Amino acid sequence: DQQVKQNSPSLSVQEGRISILNCDYTNSMFDYFLWYKKYPAEGPTFLISISSIKDKNEDGRFTVFLNKSAKHLSLHIVPSQPGDSAVYFCAGYKAAGNKLTFGGGTRVLVKP
């Protein structure tokens, strides 16, 4: 039972263009959604989060959009840079239980 799904395993984008990463969830009880970025041989690092009561959160080049009716969130990276090449995981967080549930990840390649 995958509560959080990232249906695109990979994404390739030209430097300077927009990267859009998508994530769908089935559990309406998540309190927050988070995006993590992972480089090879390193642990995931926190990127940006959004409360379930919000529909948008922006931090520099990164914006997360939440569509609760569609149970869908997306991460926009504008402009994309070669250093953004990594695997991105979305995750849902439930305060009750204090746990994260991760999607399968999307590998992003930003071409110079």
Task: Tell me which residues touch other proteins (CB under 8 A).
Answer: 4, 6, 9, 31-32, 34, 36, 41-46, 49, 89, 91, 93, 95, 97-105
At 84 the three-state DSSP class reads: helix
Nearer to other proteins, 14 or 51 (CB): 51
Nearer to other proteins, 62 or 102 (CB): 102
- Residue 109 pairs with which residues in a beta bridge? 12
Considering the complex, what minimum distance in angstroms separates the CB of residue 46 from other proteins? 5
Measured CA to CA, the distance from residue 59 to residue 98 in angstroms comes to: 24
Considering the complex, what minimum distance in angstroms separates the CB of residue 37 from other proteins? 11
b/e 62-73 (16+ beta carbons within 10 angstroms → b) = bbbbbeeeebeb
| Cα-to-chain-centroid distance, residue 108 | 11
Considering the complex, what minimum distance in angstroms separates the CB of residue 15 from other proteins? 26
